[in-house]
Amino acid sequence: MALLLAFAITLVVAVLISGLAEETVLSVAVLFLACGFLLGSHVLGKTPPIPPNLLQRLAEVALFSVVFTDGMKTGGLSQVRQSWRLPARAILIGMPLTILGVALLAHWMTGADWVRSFLLGAALSPTDPVFVSAIFRIEAVPDRVKRLLNLESGLNDGLSLPIVMLLLAYSGIHSQGPGLPLAELVAGVAIGSFVPWVAIRLEKMRFFHASGFFHPLNAFALGLLVLAICYMTGANLFLAGFAAGIAVATFGPAFTESFREFGELVTELLKLGALLVFGAVIAPRFFTSLPWLEYGFILLAVFAVRPAVLSIALMRSGLSRREVLAVGWFGPKGFASVVYGIFIYAAGFPHVAHLIALAVTASIVAYSSTDILVGRWFQSMPGRRQAAPQPGGAPQ
């Protein structure tokens, strides 16, 4: 009940300051994270222990909701076919180089063995555009930058999970997660694509028709069904969610439009709830001191590796220098890294999980506080129309 009360109070405060946060570097996401730290540190009084699997399930469902709505934002397969080249560069070139770069830094700066080093690389390779939501609402930011960040984040969440699981299996420790990563990937894409296709075809038959307030619930129900099937079968949740979002946008664009506002609200609430619980769970360990080289590793892993890697991956891509810099800068670590950090902690690598938690926190604070600044940077370009953030988007 204390957790519910804290979430309710923080949500009221977030609503009150949301207008100010949208125009400044204030971040609602950081507010919920800070409240979680206060709860976990018992600054506000003794709080009951949080069930060990609560954060894992909440983070998984929140991340599934994020990638599901991200999939619908792609506009469907036709839009993906037109804009796959830049995200493919970021995934096929940028992601492996990111994992390698973070692993090398971890090995040299923290003294970790290669398994732990590559675990850090894999867990910190996914990106999360939810924490840079302001740039998606500013018209001056080029659409190809938005599509690149959106498609890349939807795919790398699911693709990094099998790497984490393979490394944990190689270490000889049985972890929570699937035993057959390749089969899990294929199953996730298949379930995410097939379930919405069947359901939308049924809805279009003359015997069935969604109407009234049930119309926006169609996409929600499909996402929930895909999530449940993945939990039962062990399929990759995140690739399934992203594939399902693309399938809904492809086969039922009307449902995408009616679901958009409702889906963004659900995703935002899940995200903020997960951040609060995450802060409360990691607070006792979070504030223990580390060697200065490990703090240096966190800063380089979060803020230096991706800009360097993306500048290589996007060479001669047709993007302007400003666009490459923006895409390289925005590599926030979010729910995927949180979920993988929980797996790693449960597998017996608490120090690795501690470094991941610090990296995620630093990432959330920095990126969710600079998205509006980068958006204004694009607005300042000569010939760009001064466009304010569009109403109805998710708050920072």
- pLDDT above 70: residue 66: yes
Q: Residue 151: how many CB atoms within 10 A of its CB?
A: 26
Confidence class of residue 265 from pLDDT cuts 50, 70 and 90?
confident
Q: What percent of the chain has pLDDT over 90?
A: 20
Which of the pair, 368 or 197, is modelled with greater confidence? 197
Residues whose CB falls within 8 Å of the CB of residue 73, separated by 6 or more in sequence, listed in order: 150, 245, 249
pLDDT (average), residues 40-48: 70
User: Over the range 38-59, which residues count as b (16 or more CB within 10 Å of their CB) and which as e?
Assistant: bbbeeeeeebeebeeeebbebb
DSSP, res 94: I
First to last CA, the chain: 26
Domain residue spans in the chain?
2-379
| Confidence (pTM) | 0.73
pLDDT value, residue 183: 81
In this prediction, residue 179 carries a pLDDT of 46
From CA 254, how far away is CA 46, in angstroms rounded? Answer: 48
Instruction: Give the model's pLDDT for residue 134.
Output: 62
Contact by Cβ (8 Å): 387, 135? no
Q: Give the pLDDT score at 2.
A: 75
pLDDT over 90 (residue 194): yes
Q: What is the mean pLDDT of residues 47-55?
A: 70
Which amino acid would we find at residue 27? S
CA gap 371, 24 in Å, rounded: 10
Say which residues have a Cβ less than 8 Å from residue 353's Cβ, sequence separation at least 6.
341, 342, 344, 345
Pick from 335, 352, 351: which is nearest to 277 by CA? Answer: 335
Amino acid 263: pLDDT: 80
Residue range 35-60: mean pLDDT, rounded: 74
Average pLDDT, the chain: 80
Measured between alpha carbons, how far is residue 236 from residues 63, 241, 243, 288 in Å? 12, 9, 11, 34
Q: Kindly state the average pLDDT of the residues 234-258.
A: 85
Contact 395, 18 (CB under 8 A): yes
Whether residue 196 has pLDDT greater than 60: yes
> How sure is the predictor about 132, in pLDDT bands with cuts at 50, 70 and 90?
low
CA distance 129 to 323: 16
Q: Which of 29, 60, 13, 8 is nearest to 268 (CA)?
A: 29
Pseudo-torsion of CA 322, 72, 217, 390, nearest 10°?
Answer: 20
- Give the pLDDT of residue 361: 82
Residue 334 in this model has a pLDDT that exceeds 50: yes
pLDDT of residue 388: 43
User: Could you give the percent of the chain with pLDDT greater than 70?
Assistant: 82
Q: Which fold has domain 2-379?
A: Na+/H+ antiporter like fold (1.20.1530)
**Contact call for residues 194 and 225 (beta carbons, < 8 A):** no
Among 243, 259, 258, 251, CA closest to 203: 251
Residues written for the chain: 396
Amino acid present at 33 = L
* The pLDDT of residue 336: 78
DSSP, residue by residue, 179-248: S-HHHHHHHHHHHHHHHHHHHHHHHTSTT----TTHHHHHHHHHHHHHHHHHHHHT--HHHHHHHHHHHH
Torsion of the alpha carbons at 90, 94, 96 and 98, rounded to the nearest 10: -130
Task: Give pLDDT tens digits for 81-94.
Answer: 777 788 888 889 99
DSSP 390: P
Give dist(CA 206, CA 44) in Å, integer.
58
202 vs 355, which has greater pLDDT? Answer: 355
Enter the tokens of residue 15. Answer: 């609503």
DSSP state of 317: S
The answer to whether the beta carbons of residues 148 and 235 sit under 8 Å apart is: no
In terms of average pLDDT, the best of 7-16, 29-38, 329-338 is 7-16
Q: Which position has the higher pLDDT, 354 or 339?
A: 354
In angstroms, how far is CA 388 from the centroid of its own chain?
Answer: 25
Considering only CA atoms, which of 29, 8, 65, 70 is closest in space to residue 278? 29
The stretch 357-385 carries a mean pLDDT of 73
What phi-psi label fits residue 16: left (phi over 0), alpha (psi between -120 and 50 degrees) or beta?
A: alpha
pLDDT of residue 174 exceeding 50, the answer is no
- Predicted confidence (pLDDT) at residue 220 exceeds the cutoff of 90: no
